[in-house]
Structure 1
């Protein structure tokens, strides 16, 4: 039997960060098309490192987003190296808008609840 440490701050932070990093990936791509390293860098900057995806977590999310039509992938050659550029599709843009609304509502409920 696996014992989850529900009283551990790390458990809750991990759960929250996993969901929030998906939102922040959509947010930075909403702002402009980016390559993987730049996505990680911008998410890290926006969240003071809190929700910065690692390479091991970023690319599976980008693959999922691509497979589901949220992101399209193009390649550019920069200084002789091929770079994958990720761009939100109209479906991805809509998903970002829905996610932003949902997180905004949820954040308000959380802030309201912990003030009591």
Structure 2
């Protein structure tokens, strides 16, 4: 199946893929949470412009846990055990670095996206 480059959904997916990790980290740095809660927070932060799926968020959370950016503990609510993710100092430093790069890049690129040729 060929890519539909004329589709806004294609470009929305590309945007989500490129910024999703940073937004997941930001959501956890704001406050600890479990996977589904983090998905909802990212969607709310971006006014639904970026809404990661479970298939996206859990591998990213695991990657951040393995590298030391997040810690995880189990919390049982009404008989259900959930993994709750918390930012570590390394995770907060990673967020600051990521935000600096994105802010700089957006400032440099915004003028080139302003006008349609």
Classify the TM-score, shorter chain: 0.7 to 0.9
Deviations for 1:24-78, whole angstroms, at most 9, x for unmatched residues? 1111111111111110011111112221111111111111111111111101111
Distance 2:77 2:109 in 1: 44
Q: Does 1:115 align with 2:83?
A: no
Provide the alpha-carbon RMSD of the alignment: 1.7
Residue in structure 1 matched with residue 16 of structure 2 by the alignment: 17
Q: Return the alpha-carbon distance in structure 2 between the equivalents of residues 6 and 81 of structure 1.
A: 42
CA distance in 2, matches of 1:8, 1:101: 30
**Matched residue pairs, number?**
115
Match of 1:47 in 2: 46
Query: TM-score with structure 2 length normalisation?
Result: 0.86
Secondary structure in structure 2 of the residue aligned to 1:113: helix
Question: Cα distance, 1:3 vs. partner?
Answer: 5.7
Partner of 1:77: 76
Q: Distance in 1 between matches of 2:78 and 2:12?
A: 39
Q: Match of 2:82, SS?
A: strand
Tell me, in whole angstroms, the C-alpha distance in 2 between the residues paired with 1:28 and 1:108.
22
